[in-house]
């Protein structure tokens, strides 16, 4: 596929797409080894959820059960609430997403100013759902079979097939993600294969 047209960004912004367990973080690290810098949406969300205003709001909604003994937000407790209720998930996102987006924009501006940064990688599970894809210069779909993804998530998070399907249903369909992408990287093989694929994609974009 032809490289996308250049935009007004000082450095290319590359968004990663894929299902749970596809290895977006692995691909992001491959790009990082090639001189790119990562914006990790999960990391930004973990920081944002501990902000004082968020803690106060979550306590108002769900009580002290969402706090750890040290007074921090218990993300597992919050997860049990929001992943069993679409309404509660949307409510959490309504207060969390603005803080995450502010953190993302601040980090982008910082990375754009770094002379050694080749490109900025957006590692965000909800890239399409939040409209972040429209802020990217190129989209890369991480292709990985269901059984491989399930094996990874079973080992790392204890998920079974039904849990993976349930989480996947909360995201845009894989076909939509693939069709939205400019490039595809297969992540069913060894890491060095991913690195070489990332190198080829980056050469086309940059």
Domains 12-36+118-206 and 41-117 are alike in CATH topology: yes
Picking from 35, 29, 37, the residue whose alpha carbon sits closest to that of residue 195 is 29
SS (H, E, C) 114-156: CCCCCCEEEECCCCCCCCHHHHCCEEEEEECCHHHHHHHHHHH
Where does the pLDDT of residue 1 fall: very low under 50, low under 70, confident under 90, or very high at 90 and above? very low
Residue 133 C-beta-side C-alpha neighbours within 13 Å: 21
For residue range 59-108, what is the model confidence (pLDDT) as tens digits?
999 998 899 988 899 988 998 898 888 899 889 989 998 999 999 999 99
Domain boundaries along the sequence of the chain: 12-36+118-206, 41-117
* Distance from C-alpha of 170 to C-alpha of 128, rounded to nearest angstrom: 12
Q: Among positive and negative, which fits the CA dihedral 192, 194, 195, 200? A: positive
Beta-carbon count within 10 A of 60 CB = 8
For residue range 111-143, what is the model confidence (pLDDT) as tens digits?
999 999 999 999 998 899 889 999 999 999 999
Give the mean pLDDT of 41-55: 90
Beta-carbon count within 10 A of 94 CB = 10
Q: Which pLDDT value is given to residue 191?
A: 67
- C-alpha 96 chain-centroid distance: 14
| Topology annotation, domain 41-117 | Rossmann fold (3.40.50)
For residue range 2-36, what is the model confidence (pLDDT) as tens digits?
444 445 688 999 999 999 989 899 999 999 999 99
Architecture of domain 12-36+118-206: 3-Layer(aba) Sandwich (3.40)
Residues in the chain, overall count: 206
């Amino acid at each position: 596929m032809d490289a996308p047209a250049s935009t007004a960004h000082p450095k290319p912004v590359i968004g990663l797409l894929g299902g749970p367990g596809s290895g977006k973080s692995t691909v992001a690290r491959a790009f990082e080894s090639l001189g790119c810098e990562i914006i990790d949406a999960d990391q930004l969300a973990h920081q944002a959820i501990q902000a004082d205003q968020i803690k106060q709001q979550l306590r108002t909604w769900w009580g002290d059960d969402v706090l750890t003994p040290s007074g921090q937000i218990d993300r597992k407790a919050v997860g049990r609430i929001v992943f069993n209720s679409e309404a509660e998930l949307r409510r959490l996102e309504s207060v969390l997403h603005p803080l995450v987006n502010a953190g993302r924009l601040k980090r982008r501006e910082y990375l754009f100013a770094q002379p050694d940064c080749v490109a900025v990688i957006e590692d965000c599970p909800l890239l399409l759902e939040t409209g972040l894809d429209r802020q990217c210069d190129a989209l890369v779909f991480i292709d990985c079979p269901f059984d491989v993804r399930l094996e990874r998530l079973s080992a790392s998070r204890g998920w079974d097939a039904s849990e993976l399907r349930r989480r996947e249903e909360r995201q845009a369909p894989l076909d939509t993600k693939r069709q939205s992408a400019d490039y595809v990287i297969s992540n069913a093989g060894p890491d060095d294969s991913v690195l070489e694929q990332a190198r080829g994609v980056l050469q086309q974009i940059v």
